[in-house]
Amino acid sequence: MNEPDRNIDKKSRVTVVIPTYNAADYIGAAIQSALQQSFEDFELLVLDNVSTDNTADIVARFNDPRLHYRTNEQNIGFLGNANLGLSLARGEYLTYLGADDIWEKDFLLQAVALMDNNQELSFVHGSALWIDEKSQPFGGTDDRWQLITDGNKAFVDTFRYGFCFSTMLMRTETAQRIGPLPQDWGDLADTWLFLRMALEGDVGYLFQTLVLYRVHKESLSLAWYKNGKLFLRHLELAREVFNWERSRQVGVDRHKRKGLRAVALQSVTMMPIIRNDGSRRALLKTLAGIVAQVPEVLFFPRTWLRVAFGMLPRKWIFALRNFKHRRWQQAQLKIQNQQKNNHCPIPTNSSLNTLIPTGFSQTTSCPTNSCSCSSCLGNPAPDNSSQN
């Protein structure tokens, strides 16, 4: 394997890790967005899982001493690659950037500043804009997080508001101490990391949208959502995390029922995704599985609204989703115009100005017809970290 050529005498404040596998179409933009950060004291580790495309050629185009490229001897999977980055990290802070995601230039600057000014924080995360394969936006994160949230509260709120992995900046020492991401968590291992870090300190949040998170049509998570398995897996893991020894030590376990209810309601909200390819019977079967574990979801009006929505003809479901996406996009443009005209500091998705052509709101629709973005479902988008 190619060992990163790193000066052992120089220690950067931040270690940025990009695990990658066959992401040649996007990795150039990801690397460029990292190297163009206004905060410059970082090392960038690109860890290649034996890509068979021209990833190596693209990385070779960059001439920056902060960039270190390593090719593994064999494909060790996404989690193996992420854990390799964790073990190699030497910076005070550690962050992961998806090989197909993009940072705005001030992401590290603002994230590091929030961490530096609040020593009680174990990590920060922030607002993100969902984009498709063509970099067209179609939704964003749930911004009901507080600037600083008590870690125990953040542990529970994770199941209500979600998060975006590429927005996390954490204390390296803490992340290395709690250990590697567990293989048995698979596609949800980033949630494991978020929850474990929340048990180690308070959690900060960046309201300005500084991260573009790409959602692919063929995402493994989307497949799991469509067949209903991820809903039940979420509930299974939620039960597990509230039984962790550390959870019991800090008293989080007493919120177990609240957390399970949040997961169940989130699952119900996203359940109509099943109708993309599945039948009404498949949707009702998934609902029965959720109700069997958390019966009280039946007492919430949103449950019946989502069931009714999911029982509509498929073409009606797609049409209503696209309508909500257009409404979301128009609202974003309205906020931008208000900010421009009034010069007011309204947090907004600034990247719309550079990514979206004029009139996009009249033509762009949901790229997947199955995303779980806040604009159409009120929840975070599916995680794409499953790619090797």
User: pLDDT 10s digit of each residue in the chain, 388 long?
Assistant: 445 555 555 789 999 999 999 999 999 999 999 999 999 999 999 999 999 999 999 999 999 999 999 999 999 999 999 999 999 999 999 999 999 999 999 999 999 999 999 999 999 999 999 888 888 877 788 889 999 999 999 999 998 899 999 999 999 999 999 989 999 998 889 999 999 999 999 999 999 999 999 887 655 445 555 556 777 788 888 899 999 999 999 999 999 999 999 988 888 887 887 887 778 888 898 889 889 989 999 999 999 999 999 999 989 988 988 888 788 778 877 876 776 676 544 344 444 433 332 222 222 333 333 333 333 333 344 444 434 5
- Helix axes 189-198 and 151-161, enclosed angle (nearest 10): 150
- Look at residue 268 and tell me if it is in a domain: no
- Contacts for 52 with CB less than 8 Å, ≥ 6 apart: 22
Shortest CA distance to 165 belongs to which of 146, 199, 193?
Answer: 193
Give the tokens for residue 309.
């929505």
Residue ranges making up the domain that contains 20? 14-214
Give the tokens for residue 140.
């964003």
Whichever domain contains 184, its CATH number is 3.90.550.10
Question: pTM of the entire structure?
Answer: 0.81
- Look at residue 137 and tell me if it is in a domain: yes
Coil vs helix vs strand at 48: strand
Contact call for residues 118 and 204 (beta carbons, < 8 A): yes
Between the alpha carbon of residue 376 and those of residues 158, 172, 372, 381, the distances in Å are: 19, 35, 7, 10
Give the tokens for residue 25.
């179409």
- How far is Cα 318 from Cα 370, in angstroms, rounded to an integer? 9
- Look at residue 265 and tell me if it is in a domain: no
What burial letters (b/e) apply to 54-78, b meaning 16+ CB within 10 Å?
ebeebbeebeeebbbbbbbeeebbb
- Contacts for 292 with CB less than 8 Å, ≥ 6 apart: none
* Number of compact structural domains in the chain: 1
CA angle, 197 then 224 then 170, to 5°: 15
